[in-house]
Amino acid sequence: MTWDNTWNDILDGGHKRWKDVDPNGIKVALGHIQKHLSSAEEKGDDLDDMKVLCPLAGDDPFVHYAWTNGFDVTAIDIVPAALSSLRRQFSSDDSDWTKTTVLDEKTNETSTTVWKHISGRVTLYEGDIFSLRPELHHVFDVVYDKDSFGALTKDLRSRYCQTIADYTKDGAVLYMEVKKKDVGHPGLHHGPPFSVDKADLMEADNFGKKGGSLFRHVESLGEVYDINTPKMMQTGHILRRTAE
């Protein structure tokens, strides 16, 4: 089943998959993020100017929630139906959004559709996470990754981590949520979602690339909220972007 078909099934009332989570989870996530941004506030940086990246966001309500709390938010996802559902969380009127398209130089076909909210503080990229976007390099203070890393097969993870490194400022906070499966889980070695722990995140080809000079693991948060799924927990990690 393709991602488009998966999302259509979810939005048509099918199995919720990864979306069947505690609705308070977004509050938990923002609380952890704000705690680890406190050092920026102490340095005099304005938290209202903080820019948050939500990669492979789908229609995650965290995007809207972070926006209502004063953050500037950018989300990226390849599935049009998912981002359409996300826009409806802001309003039912698409006139609140400005739509532009980016053409692939080789095929002259649309590679990315960019939606900008009337507030000026929300941007949605409808396209491949791995498309070149130099305008996003070294822009973001925060990354909110809910199950995005854990949805990727191992062959895609290194490229994903490099993309996150390219897009984040030195000192940026990465809030990661991943599934952790018990040893007795029948799908322990299968996914998505894949079972992920600190060692997986910090592998030399992943966030531990370049000898750990790009990211450091700050804290393992343990279970962040109950997902009511046998032999599986929703766990969290805090990483921080280091200066190259």
Per-residue pLDDT reduced to its tens digit, 206-220: 999 888 889 999 999
pLDDT by residue (tens digit) across 179-205? 999 998 988 888 889 999 999 999 999
Ranking 33-42, 84-93, 229-238 by mean pLDDT, the lowest is 33-42
Helix, strand and coil in the chain, % to nearest 5: 35, 30, 35
Is the pLDDT at 31 greater than 70? The verdict is yes
pLDDT value, residue 203: 96
pLDDT by residue (tens digit) across 97-108? 999 998 776 666
Mind giving me the DSSP string for 193-210? SPB--HHHHTSTTTTTHH
pLDDT value, residue 42: 47
Residue in this structure with the two tokens 């990669």, named with its chain if needed = 55
- The structural domains of the chain, with segments of one domain joined by +, span 21-241
CATH class in words for 21-241:
alpha beta
pLDDT value, residue 164: 98
| Distance between CA atoms of residues 208 and 145, nearest Å | 17
| Distance between CA atoms of residues 17 and 25, nearest Å | 16
**What integer is the mean pLDDT of 27-37?**
95
Half-sphere exposure for 222 (CA within 13 Å, toward CB): 0
